[in-house]
Amino acid sequence: MRLQSRVETIPQSGDFKTTVRETDWQVSETAIVICDMWDNHYCQSAAQRVGDMVPRMNHVLTRARNHGAMIIHSPSGTLDFYGDSPYRLSMQLTPQVEPPFPLNGWCYRDDAREPELPVDVSKNPCDDPVVGPAVKVFHRQHPGLDIIGYDGISDRGDEIYSFCKTHGIKNVVMMGVHTNMCVLGRPFGIRQLVKLGFQVALARDLTDAMYDPREAPFVSHTRGTELVVEHIEAYWCPSIDSSDLCVVVEGSADPQAKSASNANPVSAK
């Protein structure tokens, strides 16, 4: 894994440099959480970008799943659609593990840890030319993302925490939307997972922000998303390119001799 972070060169200077650290994550200890990749959105530009992202995301998830990573689908507010599917039941039936502190239903910006986010969404986060009403138009996760095998479905922080602890998950990769909102703030989002002690990384090429270039800092939508990713790299967790989830360390997946069964753990590279 090539973990990309932003480090302040001098404390309180506001001057950051990008650093990249290479490390191995054991596949059996790694989960990928897909945040709010819904089948539709009131902001049609946001919905279009999700649709564009889906084929690439599904490819990465297929590769990571086949290597042994755990996949958790978190399309918030749509769990009734999945009813008693085995993917939903696998999360519900997991023994409850008490977290070290009460979990928040939403994790707001932490004044003690981070400044204001770099894009202004106080007036309007949607970049449609004519913005429609912000109403719920989604019903499920985007159908282009396969839910298969041992995948789980949940939007509950307590279920996802219990599931990860029960299955020995130490590392979590977040992907999905929207970077400056749900990816950070959901009960299973970056802020909460970091505080719970997981090693967290954001797949920076498989996320998108809610941002309208007609608002400050008056940059393109793409640059607005990049600024949010840089904020996360500086104050919360590193980012990765999702290609790192598609390969393992050479030889680490080979059969191991019984006497050395734990010598070479399977690792994401």
pLDDT at 253 (0 to 100) = 84
> Considering only CA atoms, which of 109, 124, 119 is closest in space to residue 228?
119
Domains defined along the chain, listed by start: 2-7+27-252 (3.40.50.850)
H-helix or E-strand spanning residue 228: helix 221-235
d(CA 197, CA 207): 22
What number of other Cβ atoms are within 10 A of residue 116's Cβ? 9
Tokens of 60: 């990465």
CA dist., res. 244 & res. 230, Å (int): 19
Cα–Cα nearest to 2, from 18, 14, 15, 16 = 18
What's the whole-model pTM score?
Answer: 0.94
Q: How many residues does the chain have?
A: 269
Q: Tell me how far apart the 2 most distant CA atoms of the chain are, in Å.
A: 66
* 224-244 pLDDT tens trace: 999 999 999 999 999 999 999
CB atoms within 10 A of CB 181: 20
pLDDT at 10: 87
pLDDT at 261: 43
pLDDT of residue 137: 98
Low-confidence stretches of the chain (pLDDT beneath 50): 259-269
